[in-house]
Amino acid sequence: MKLKYIQPNIDKDIKRYEVLLDKLKKIDDYKQGLTIIEKINKIRDNFFSMYWLSYINYLLDVNSEYWNKTEEFFSKYNPIMENLKLTYYQVLNESRFKDEYAKEIGNKVFEIASLETKLLNDNILEELKKEKELGNKYHKLIASSKVIFNKEELPLSKIGKYTLSSDRYVRIAANKAKFELFASIENKIDNILDELIRVRTNIAKKLGYKSYTDVGYIQMRRIGYDKKDVKMFRDNIIKYIVPLINKLKEKQKKELQIGKLLYYDDNILFKDGNATPKGDTKWIVNQALKMYESISPKLSLLFNKMNIEGLMDLDSKDGKSGGGIATYIPNYKVPVFISNFNGTSRDIVVLTHEFGHSFQLYSSRNLKYYENWWPTFDACEIHSKSMELLTLPYMNLFFDKDAHKYVYEELYTTLKDMCYIALVDEFQHLIYDKHDLTINERKENWRNLEKKYMPWLDFEDNNYLERGNTWQKQSHIFSNPFYYIDYALADSIALQFYALSLDNEKETWNKYIDFCSQGGMYSFVDTVKKVGMKSPFDENTLKEIVKKISNYI
């Protein structure tokens, strides 16, 4: 990443932050208060900018000595800065100028403040440092593991293409190779999670909670809904989406002309293979530019900028951590994102997804401060998923005659993934609520939940998978606990955006662009209300969505 990294002068920054907080407490004129708030946010901006640049560069090359060092720096100082942020929240929340401040910097920061100050505690700094280290250890293990396939050594992120081959023999061999590798590091991953559960449970206990689940809900800033609502949402996924996927599985079996769908067939939807992009990365970027030009100048302007300024790192490489991630660098007022292109349809999913995040972050860059740039995660995934879905009518640009295959795959996968997401979510509740389960008991529970949320999965003779291990590839469980149901909550809104666009595309794009400029000003529940969509916590919402989308596909 070309953006310049300068390690924060941390001792000086911390001291200044503390002095400013002290002044803010004693202020007797709210205008002075606003000046101090501005200064505090300058320090925060610089820290976040470098924190994210370090992390992104680390993900690009997990073996780099330099970025490992900067990551050590942030493992140590991020918890301290987080604590200062919580003190800042506390001072804001207790201020007699709260109403005056809210007019300038918005209400959401106060909503978050009332919630997050519950996490303020100097005695958990050691645990927080350990937690970040364990998360990075997982990423490093995955990014530096190699699969032997066709006598070639491949990073895990590059085997994906072969696991999706239309040739059943190729995908069987690729899946075997992939899961043999996972089986060889199974114990290491088990131990990382085991230790994480211990560390996180300690954090919860020190903060006065019975389970880390409660801490997770606060960290994920779940405002206006609780565990009961989330459980109802998961139950509705079982009630309305699982049966639909079961039905589509029958269709898939017929299409593939096989008697039994096995785990390596799960994502293959067409006999002659799923759609694949008709060109390389450079070509894809050019086609995307054409697409955004024909939708809106606002979209094409940013996409072009990100391309020219090198703010996207798309191809998978040795030592690059898998998956996609987008973030915002306040010092430079630009979004950045990375992905791991591997020549499959997923490349287009990730490109549109991460660009959706980028567009939202860029559209809200002039709002006041971090809390308004960043929606909470449940809300921020609406922007990314909607971008995936709203661009579906343009897929001939990437897939030519196979565009219809991609459209089916995207809608089907969105719904199927909601089942997997709910599974990961229930698993996370379980491992923290029953934190003394043994490693094997955890796996048994996972496998049972898998049967509930994804009953169609058949692992045949794959012992590693049959023993309940598919969670091992899910990085969120390690570095972003409880960040997962957010995707499904957001999907339920993005699918409503898509349904609207089927009736009026142009109007829906305008609505979307306007929605992005609101950034993170409102909580998820309020965001959904403001944009005029139905809440996923209403009993009938999923039922209606499934009806409309299943008619369409």
Would you tell me which residues interact with Zn ion (CB under 5 A)? 384
Nearer to Zn ion, 92 or 418 (CB): 418
Nearer to Zn ion, 91 or 490 (CB): 490
Residues facing residue 327 across a β-bridge: 336
Spatial distance between the Cα atoms of 151 and 145, rounded to a whole number of angstroms = 15
Length of the chain (residues)? 553
Residues facing residue 335 across a β-bridge: 328
Residues facing residue 152 across a β-bridge: 149
Nearer to Zn ion, 360 or 384 (CB): 384
Spatial distance between the Cα atoms of 30 and 27, rounded to a whole number of angstroms = 7
Distances from the Cα of 382 to the Cαs of 319, 356, 376, 485, 486, in angstroms?
Answer: 30, 9, 10, 12, 9
Nearer to Zn ion, 201 or 384 (CB): 384
Nearer to Zn ion, 55 or 179 (CB): 55
Contact 5, 57 (CB under 8 A): yes
Q: Burial level of 328, CB count in 10 A (0-12/13-18/19+)?
A: buried
CB of residue 352 vs Zn ion: minimum separation in angstroms?
11
The tokens for 549 are 């989308």
Return the residue nearest Zn ion (CB atom).
384
CB of residue 502 vs Zn ion: minimum separation in angstroms?
23
Residues facing residue 313 across a β-bridge: 338
CB of residue 551 vs Zn ion: minimum separation in angstroms?
27
The tokens for 268 are 């293959």
CB of residue 483 vs Zn ion: minimum separation in angstroms?
10
CB of residue 398 vs Zn ion: minimum separation in angstroms?
20
CB of residue 384 vs Zn ion: minimum separation in angstroms?
4
Enumerate residues 6+ apart whose C-beta is below 8 A from 495: 389, 414, 545, 549
Contact 369, 105 (CB under 8 A): yes
Nearer to Zn ion, 110 or 487 (CB): 487
Q: How many helices (H) and strands (E) does the chain have?
A: 26, 5
Nearer to Zn ion, 327 or 462 (CB): 327
CB of residue 114 vs Zn ion: minimum separation in angstroms?
26
